[in-house]
Amino acid sequence: MRLKTARGRSASSQRWLERQLNDPYVAAAKREGWRSRAAFKLIEIDDKYHILKPGQRIVDLGAAPGGWTQVAAQRVKAVEGRGQVIGIDYLPVDPIPGATILELDFLADDAPDKLKALLRDGGADVVLSDMAAPTTGHASTDHLRIMALAEAAAQFATEVLAPGGAFIAKVFQGGTERALLDMLKRDFAIVRHVKPKASRADSSELYVLATGFRGQS
């Protein structure tokens, strides 16, 4: 589908709108009640690797608008009171059944302690991070910014995960993701890159999946 160009709309905005209208994942998300197309990325990863299980404690970093939080709450049976899901974002997130939402920047000094205080027994079984800084249009700058977020998320994960826990985080291809992989390999039994089909083919977006947390040293 192509749109007639609206007066005052930039070419990039026009391309974004056309891509959204032609994206089957956007349509499926609306049809199935997910907050965003990103929900399908986590669904695909979990269907393949079986990370989320009933009764687990989940932390979702950068939760807005809530697609990953929705998936996590459904799969750990949080609505039934079996699992626990906590999402955090500096952007507002509409309430999600079974989830606790903390409206706070994850990079704030007090954010890790506030998350730990909410977690059952102070620990988590899975830490999710779909965080991404606003893009600048400069590829290397954008890469460094998202890698800094992924590294902060990984550090938090090593502080809260129970032995055997898992970590999933968004990264961009660009070279320095190797440093993050090396760091994770010290703390997890298996570390791999995954690119769900729901990630756009022309995007450098990947996810790092680390499983089998060895426990705090």
Active-site residue list: 170
Residues 6+ apart with CB under 8 A from 142: 133, 135, 136, 172
Per-residue H/E/C for 112-171: HHHHHHHCHHHCEEEEEECCCCCCCCCHHHHHHHHHHHHHHHHHHHHHHEEEEEEEEEEE
175 burial class (0-12, 13-18, 19+ CB within 10 angstroms)? exposed
Q: At which residue do the structure tokens 């909410």 appear?
A: 118
Strand-pairing partners, residue 13, are: none
* Structural element, H or E, at residue 86: strand 84-89
| 163: Cα separation from own chain's centroid | 21
How many Cβ atoms sit within 10 Å of the Cβ of residue 102?
17
